[in-house]
Amino acid sequence: MQYSYQCQTYEHSFSHPLTTRYGTWSVRQGLIITLVDEHNTVGQGEIAPLDWFGSESWQQAWDYCQHLPSQLTSTEILSVPDHLPACQFGFGSAWAALGASSSPALTLPMCGLLPTGASALSAYPALEQQGYRALKWKIGVDTPAREQAIFRDLMAVLTPGTRLRLDANGGLSYAAACQWLDLCDQASADVTVEYLEQPLPPSEFTTLVALSQLYQTPLALDESVATLAQLQACYQQGWSGIFIIKPAICGYPNDLRQFCQTHAIDAVFSSVFESKVGRRACLQLAEELSNPHRAIGFGVNHWLPVP
Ligand code: MG
């Protein structure tokens, strides 16, 4: 069967720029893929690359999409090369959407993303009011001493029962990671640190494994497992902690599904600030495959309101 194919670009502005240790992010650029079959059924998919995180760049995705013919076969749709994982997701989810009925209801709780730095202290009440019981805060941007002072204040004011996730985006030294983990281990039982995400860069995998055995606070890999190939490699090398999975940059949805259904991993599905087309596909996968006892990382609508 032949499918007619179109690709459109989009740019969405964040309501406030998001600061991480990679810098400041204020515009989300991506692509929407539209496939139409011979019965005029329409399937859409989103390509939302995150090149500083390990996927292809927006430009690489655009170059690939632009050079495809206006009619595609299913073989072409399902043979996007592995070095374009966000494109694989976009084409794979557009193709899946052609055969999909209505979306299932979503039941998983979400984790809300706090602003970086001291702004978290003024922003948390609004997120708590929206019902979030899991919150995430980025670290590794300012000095450990300043961030740890804010962390102590935050832990003291959050509603008992809240789970706080810390995300260093690979930006800590070994010494700073140990300091943070000491502090997390000492946290009160009222507000727990659910996990520390990617304290060290992916190149320090062996040290990450060692660190995960030294402290009670769990560690999660994120940058280390950006693509399905990396996820498989870390699993095979014995990572037994948490895996953060960003489906939108993880390759073909069916390959990810197969991996997660074959291996009993503690997976937390998470957003890359997709718009609604990609978000719908990601949430469906999360509902199927993410650990049901953990909130999913899609509480980001207050950062990027998408019409
Ligand atoms: Mg992360």
Domain range summary for the chain, segments of one domain joined by +: 2-98, 110-299
Q: Are 265 and 293 in contact (CB under 8 A)?
A: no
299 Cα to the center of ligand 1, angstroms: 13
**Domains 2-98 and 110-299 in one fold:** no
Amino acid 101: pLDDT? 72
Q: Which of 28, 136, 163, 246 is catalytic?
A: 246
Amino acid 155: pLDDT? 96
Q: Are 133 and 161 in contact (CB under 8 A)?
A: yes
Question: What is this structure's pTM?
Answer: 0.96
CATH placement of domain 110-299: 3.20.20.120
CATH superfamily, domain 2-98, is: Enolase-like, N-terminal domain (3.30.390.10)
- Residue 250 DSSP one-character state: S
Active site residue 138: yes
Q: Which of 18, 33, 58, 138 is catalytic?
A: 138
Active site residue 136: no
What are the C-alpha distances in Å from 153 to residues 33, 158, 188?
45, 9, 13
221 Cα to the center of ligand 1, angstroms: 8
SS (H, E, C) 178-216: HHHHHHHHCCCCCCEEEEEECCCCHHHHHHHHHHHHHCC
User: Average pLDDT for consecutive 10-residue bins of the chain (307 residues)?
Assistant: 96 92 92 96 97 94 97 96 97 93 82 96 97 97 96 96 97 97 91 97 97 97 95 96 97 97 96 95 96 96 83
91/88 Cα distance (integer angstroms): 5
Amino acid 307: pLDDT? 63
197 Cα to the center of ligand 1, angstroms: 6
